[in-house]
Copies of this chain bind each other. A is one copy, B any other.
Amino acid sequence: MPTSTRRARERANTRERIIEAALHVLETEGVAALTIRRIATDVEYSAPVVYQHFANKDALVLELVAHGHRLMLSEFHRAAQEPDTDRRMTRIASQYVRFAGEHPHLFQVMNDPLVDADERRRVAEPVVDVLRELLTTWSAAHDVVLADFDQACEILWGTLYGIASLGHLGNVGDDRARHLAEQALRAILLGWRTGMPASNRGPSSSGS
């Protein structure tokens, strides 16, 4: 039955086209323009067709979020090729903020509290894994033992997000935000290298 496989292929194809159309609308016109009818029109279908490929709008948006994280992951991998350990860290910081600046609307939905927290964490995992890896080699290279590695990682992740958001929310310009991220990361790493005062080993309780 080669016909059914062709049908499945076509199905998968239009599904992909829907995602691409949605992504295009999101990136070029922002989240307000991202409506089911608009997307359907762009792929030359009627609105209900979208629901044959996605349970609801959230599912479609989640696909965009996943796409965004894959994109970010690839850029991280490129930045991670920098040989120098310290420069590699600052390049990651810079890349993160650059991504937020170049894909503001995508970045927005990637961190939108409205999309399910668990799913968001799930699709973001690979990219924070890269960060984790980099921090591991960095701390090894500098003979630094972090009191709580996961905590350190979350601090970096949160800091990058916060400063990227500074740019995204319009508080500072994008280039400046990138520079801020590099400085912040440098300051934190320097702080860790210098060694935190004793009162360090915090409670590992209440984490999720």
Contact = CB atoms under 8 A, between A and B. Distances in A.
Contacts of A180: 151, 154-155, 158
Given A180-B154, A187-B187, A203-B179, A113 B121 contact: no
For A118, A157, A176, the residue with the greatest tally of chain B CB atoms inside 10 Å of its CB is: A176
A3 interface: no
A169 B208 CA distance: 11
Interface string A146-164: 0000010011011111110
Contact of A165 (B162, B205, B206): B162
Interface stretch (A8-16, A65-73, A191-199): A191-199
A36 interface: no
Nearest to A108: B113
Copies in the complex: 2
A154 B173 contact: no
Contacts of A168: 113
Given A158-B180, A179-B203, A187-B188, 12 more contacts: A111-B169, A117-B169, A121-B170, A154-B166, A154-B171, A159-B162, A159-B184, A162-B162, A175-B205, A187-B196, A189-B191, A194-B194
Interface of A: 108, 111, 113, 117-118, 120-121, 151, 154-155, 157-163, 165-166, 168-176, 179-180, 183-184, 186-192, 194, 196-197, 200, 202-203, 205-208
